[in-house]
């Protein structure tokens, strides 16, 4: 499945000012790692944002947002998928990027192999 390259370019531009950003292909798309932690990803035409449990309830009030479901049907406590409708306008896009960046310092790092 291809991912939305325009969306990935838009995210790349939003994160260009940060010193520690790395792109990795995963989740059938591309993930932007900030400070060694997953932050924002593109999967298909959706944006996956790591916003944390504190923001989850208010985020899920939006019809264009859904909780990420992990293996074995377990809901993720940190990640949401946002459809194109939810980030079409720049103000909305900036909101999701800000939520993900605000949570990033609190997010757990993935285990190093």
Under 8 Å between Cβ of 104 and 37: yes
**Nearest partner of 28 among 39, 44, 8, judged by Cα:** 44
Average pLDDT over residues 48-74: 92
In angstroms, the CA 89 to CA 8 distance is 15
Average pLDDT over residues 43-56: 95
The more confidently predicted of residues 106 and 1 is 106
Write down the pLDDT at residue 109: 82
Put simply, whether the predicted model's pTM sits higher than 0.85 gets the answer yes
Query: Which fold, 5-106?
Result: 3.90.1150
Q: How confident is the model at residue 111 (pLDDT cuts 50, 70, 90)?
A: low
Average pLDDT over residues 72-83: 92
Burial call 56-95: b when 16+ CB within 10 Å, e when fewer: beebeeeeebbebeeeeeeeeebbbbbbeebbeeeeebeb
Q: Is 74 helix (H, G, I), strand (E, B) or coil?
A: coil
């Amino acid at each position: 499945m291809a991912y939305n390259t325009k969306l990935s370019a838009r995210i790349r531009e939003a994160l260009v000012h940060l010193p520690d950003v790395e792109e990795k292909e995963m989740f059938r798309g591309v993930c932007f790692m900030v400070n060694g932690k997953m932050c924002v990803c593109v999967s298909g035409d959706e944006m996956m944002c790591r916003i944390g449990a504190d923001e989850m309830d208010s985020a899920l009030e939006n019809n264009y947002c859904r909780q990420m479901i992990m293996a074995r049907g377990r809901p993720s406590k940190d990640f949401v998928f946002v459809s194109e409708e939810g980030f079409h306008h720049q103000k909305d896009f900036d909101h999701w990027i800000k939520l993900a960046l605000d949570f990033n310092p609190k997010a757990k790092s993935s285990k190093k192999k």
